[in-house]
A = this chain, B = another copy of it.
Amino acid sequence: MQLQYPSLMAAVATSLNGSIGNFTQEPPKNFGFVLYDSFDVLDISGSIEPLYLLSSSHQLNLSLIAESMAPVYMRPAANETNPVHSHFQLSVNPTHTFEDPPQDLDVLFVPGGGGERLGNITAAVDFVRNTYPRVKYLITVCTGAGVAARAGLLDGKRATTNKASWDKIIPLGKGVQWTSPARWVVDGNIWTSSGVTAGIDLMFAFIEKFYGKDIAHRIQAVTEHKRTFDPCDDPFAAINNVPPSGHCK
């Protein structure tokens, strides 16, 4: 049985006849996602999913970049306790290494995860520091802002991070204008989001800005994501007892 437009991807692509935005600037095309041990899987997939659907109508390329080509695990970090002895982990496969990354990245994406604070992720921090000057945009989700802060890239900039990990992350960037409440923050070419699912809202805003409102709305309809449109709409700052600081936009 041949179905011509059967998938979510096709549902996005076929809705776009003639409505692809007319932008003066070439939108980003090559996305590199940094992986490290004990990364957070929803941090990456919350952004990979809408971009995957976008890739049915816009030529996009995805790279997953890690210290080696070995599978990278979401699991408790090396010196983190696992008191109830759960065995709950998942691994994804890199496509490139930090030593031999794609040379034409437009966007560098840094997720959070327990490894950010507990593991030895010096190689990831160095890669992010060295790669930032060559990309057009840097995106961090959740405690991924801690990686960018350790790389020195957020100094003097407004940025945010997971409000439940606030006290652990902000000391990593003493020169950063840490901002709360904020579901996400844009300062120049650096986009930082608050915890985990806030990254989905960041990515929808990113897609809307660079690829247009029509495709963003269509991807929203297909993923059924109840978007937060206002970057300042962040109830989790109060829930996690984070005091106000900075300006979310």
Q: Which A residues fall within an 8 A CB radius of B?
A: 2-3, 6-11, 13, 38, 40-42, 45-46, 48-49, 51-52, 55-62, 64, 71, 74, 76-77, 79-93, 112-114, 117-118, 142-143, 162-165, 168, 183, 194-198, 200, 221-226, 228, 234-236, 239-240
Given contacts A7-B165, A62-B90, 16 further A-B contacts (CB under 8 A): A3-B168, A6-B117, A6-B168, A10-B80, A41-B48, A41-B49, A48-B74, A51-B88, A52-B74, A52-B88, A60-B88, A62-B87, A195-B223, A195-B224, A197-B224, A198-B224
**Closest Cβ neighbor of A82 among chain B residues:** B56
Within the assembled complex, what's the spacing in Å between the Cα atoms of A60 and B76?
13
Cβ contact within 8 Å between A13 and B83: yes
| Chain B residues positioned under 8 Å from A88 (CB to CB) | 51-52, 55, 60-62
Cβ contact within 8 Å between A55 and B86: yes
Chain A residues touching B, majority SS: loop
Cβ contact within 8 Å between A42 and B51: no
Taking the closest CB of chain B, its distance from the CB of A49, in whole angstroms, is 4
Within the assembled complex, what's the spacing in Å between the Cα atoms of A38 and B143?
29
A-B contact pairs, 13 of them (CB 8 A): A3-B117, A6-B118, A7-B80, A7-B165, A10-B81, A40-B49, A42-B45, A56-B86, A59-B86, A90-B92, A91-B93, A92-B92, A163-B224
**Closest Cβ neighbor of A233 among chain B residues:** B226
B7, B49, B71: the one within 8 Å of A93 (CB) = B71
Taking the closest CB of chain B, its distance from the CB of A77, in whole angstroms, is 6
**Closest Cβ neighbor of A168 among chain B residues:** B6
Within the assembled complex, what's the spacing in Å between the Cα atoms of A236 and B77?
38
Within the assembled complex, what's the spacing in Å between the Cα atoms of A228 and B226?
9
Taking the closest CB of chain B, its distance from the CB of A157, in whole angstroms, is 21
B56, B74, B113: the one within 8 Å of A84 (CB) = B56
| Chain B residues positioned under 8 Å from A7 (CB to CB) | 38, 76-77, 80, 113-114, 117-118, 165
Within the assembled complex, what's the spacing in Å between the Cα atoms of A52 and B89?
8
Within the assembled complex, what's the spacing in Å between the Cα atoms of A240 and B164?
35
| Chain B residues positioned under 8 Å from A52 (CB to CB) | 41, 74, 88
